[in-house]
Amino acid sequence: MTANQLIRPITTEEKEHLFIGGCDTVELAEKYGTPLYVIDEQTIRAVCRDYKRAFSKYENVRFMFASKALCTLATSQIIASEGFGFDVVSAGEIYTVYKAKTDMSKVLFNGNNKSQEELDLALKLGVGRISVDNFTELSMLDNADILLRITPGIECHTHEYIQTGHLDSKFGFDMSGIDEAVEIILKKNLRLHGLHAHIGSQIFETKVYSDEVEIVVDELVRLNKKFGLNLNEINLGGGLGVKYTEDDCPPSIDEIADVILSKLYKVIEKHKINPPLLILEPGRSIVSPAGATLYKIGASKQVPNGTKYVAVDGGMADNPRPSMYNSKYSAVIANKPFDLDSLQKVTIAGRFCESGDILIKNIELPNPQKNDILCVFNTGAYNFSMASNYNRVQKPAMVLVNNSQSDMIVKRETLDDLISHDRIVI
């Protein structure tokens, strides 16, 4: 088992209260307030090391963390210290990893509608690769080291919004347009190093990775032969799923490594080529299990002969995934994790003015009461990065925990922060 298959951070302990990273989560809620994002440093490092160990027998491999999952100065520094580079998709992500003093030569700029200003910033700050997504982007670039992003035609059984490798996708060149793209590249001052593909997110299948390897390497070899190139980089993206609930059974990092490397060795032998640089972009699987969110329970409502709603002081603005993807989560009451004699089936409702603001449906918890602290697990990915100020509510703080120490790494927004960019014109 690797850490992506855990619902909780690896340091989680149930004592009189729930502890993460050696810290009492109830005390964290009292000290920093709620809602509160809690990130366990040891879990982040453990997953990074799981990836490096699982792929260690292939010497020419590079890992780039998918920054869209979670992008802060502190987490970027931790991940960089484990030897990872970064896949970034905006000027904000580029600037964050730059200010975190990461090695910019290990950064790849990705995305389907990059602005000229973003491309210029990437080149100015020394981003190592730009993944070119379309013909418009080719016309905007000059004097750059690039990969060509392709859509390999692989459809994963994930939510339709997080499928990116199938043919009907907004991302990348379809296979019929690759030759034309290369012809344009050869006429410009662009240095093409290889191909980039990404097949989706929250992937539980392993065969799709095998299919992706074969398609991408076959295409790399074909382009080298047809155009006399020496392309030697394949970026397979990321997308490995995580375990949000007991019903989820994601493959381990070791399993996908076995699938990817087994097929890669076969196609290398088939084509009699030197091993290409293998680039992988894990994101969710690194930070999601490292994260938990603490909420304070407030009002409750019992529908006659129906649902009991228990409301918390956060919801869809700090975790939009249940509303967007019908995502499911696991949770406990942090101040009474062992109180199992009074279990009730309840639905956790958010505080925002939308009927769809429901965090968890039909979860069994020990008699939730006002001011209890609810801990929702596996919230390290896409919660903070997708957070909003809906209903003009301040975004939560984030703390890093490790060895019984906690440090605030993102401040809680204030009411003044909310209006800091407003201007009165009357």
Question: Is 48 one of the catalytic residues?
Answer: no
Classify strands 144-151 and 107-109 as parallel, antiparallel or unpaired.
unpaired
DSSP letters of 19-54?
A: EETTEEHHHHHHHH-SSEEEEEHHHHHHHHHHHHHH
What 8-state DSSP symbol labels residue 168? S
Phi, psi of 190 (to 5 degrees): -125, 135
Q: How far apart are CA 200 and CA 207, in angstroms?
A: 13
How many helices (H) does the chain have, and how many strands (E)? 12, 21
The Cα 176–Cα 20 span in angstroms is: 50
Helix locations, 151-252, DSSP H:
178-186, 207-227
Taking the C-alpha atoms of residue 288 and residue 329, their distance in angstroms, rounded to an integer, is 12
Q: Which of 23, 48, 353, 375 is catalytic?
A: 353
**Per-residue tokens: 163:** 């499928």
Per-position b or e across 176-191, b if 16+ CB within 10 A of its CB: eebeebbeebeeeebe
Backbone φ and ψ for 164, nearest 5 degrees, come out as -130, -5
**Which two three-digit tokens encode residue 10?**
């690896």
Q: Who's near 265: CB < 8 A, 6+ residues apart?
A: none
Amino acid, res. 305: N
CA-nearest of 221, 212, 202, 319 to 269 is: 221
Contacts of residue 183, Cβ cutoff 8 Å, sequence gap at least 6: none
Q: List the catalytic residues.
A: 353
